[in-house]
Amino acid sequence: MIAPETHYLFTMMPRNFRNSAVALLQSGLIAVASFIGTAPRAMAQAVRACVCSDLGAEVVQEPDTVFHIVPRFDAALCGKIDRSVTPFVYGEFTIRSCGTFTLRPLRTQSALHDCHITVSGGMLVVDELRSLPTGPDMHLATRPCWRTYYVLRVHEDTAQYAINAMKDLIADLPKPTPDQVARIQARWDALPPSIYWMDRELLGQVFLCALHDAEWFRRFSEVRETYRFGGAVAVDYDELLAILHAKRAGHAE
């Protein structure tokens, strides 16, 4: 059986290196240790310290925590961490990759939205939290909404590496019942036109109707033609509209 460290090394090698190594190992002509010396140069680079500062910066900012993702790929986080809850909540932070391969920013998160962060399946997983009308009786509740996966990729033929980000919509968005739709319509009808829309909960409830009905989707898309938006409500509307388009397209962009 190939040891885990050796198996990982094989997955990181260019195909021509890997195929030759497997054939030679099976024939007993070389040992793993001798082959490691022929691995791509990227594997032999010195490990870079996990910090939140640019290379060469006069002041080095130590991270608040470091995520160990796979061998030679870690991520340093500098920002706010609420450890009084489970899972931890991370806010207003910067994440930088570190380790053998690279030291560069992966993500900067504003104070507007908090996140959950985990390591799973060799990937750094960041779940952005949103206030959506998914609580009891369609009240606003904070739930994971957008999930971004960060994974280290190494080109099999050139040994060039990159850290890819893949974004997905994971929010559970239930369909309103007919009675709920009627109550939402009544609340919407009570809003006079040409005023600033201030009710974030109602906006979220209209969004849920739009998510499951084409006519409501049209009305939600055109709501700025009738009402004004500002501040946090404007941010909410843009976010909800992005979710609608992602759901209709069948994937999150």
Model pLDDT for residues 8-51, shown as the tens digit of each residue: 333 333 343 334 333 333 333 322 222 223 333 333 334 457 88
Tokens of 153: 């990729």
- The answer to whether residue 150 sits within a structural domain is yes
- The answer to whether residue 13 sits within a structural domain is yes
The domain in which residue 98 lies consists of 65-169
pTM here? 0.73
pLDDT given for residue 9 in this prediction = 33
Same domain, 128 and 220: no
**Cβ-count burial of 110 within 10 angstroms (0-12 exposed, 13-18 middle, 19+ buried)?**
exposed
29-33, 61-65, 217-221, range with the lowest pLDDT: 29-33
Phi first, then psi: give them for residue 142, nearest 5 degrees: -85, 120
pLDDT given for residue 102 in this prediction = 58
- For 162-186, the pLDDT digits (tens) are 889 999 989 888 999 999 999 999 9
Q: Are 38 and 17 in contact (CB under 8 A)?
A: yes
- The answer to whether residue 231 sits within a structural domain is yes
- The answer to whether residue 52 sits within a structural domain is no
Work out the mean pLDDT of the chain and round it to a whole number.
Answer: 78
Same domain, 187 and 159: no
- Alpha-helical (H) ranges within the chain are 4-12, 15-27, 32-36, 178-189, 200-212, 214-221, 231-249
Same domain, 159 and 185: no
Report the domain count for the chain: 3
- The answer to whether residue 49 sits within a structural domain is no
Same domain, 138 and 225: no
Domain final residue pick, 119, 137, 169: 169
Same domain, 71 and 125: yes
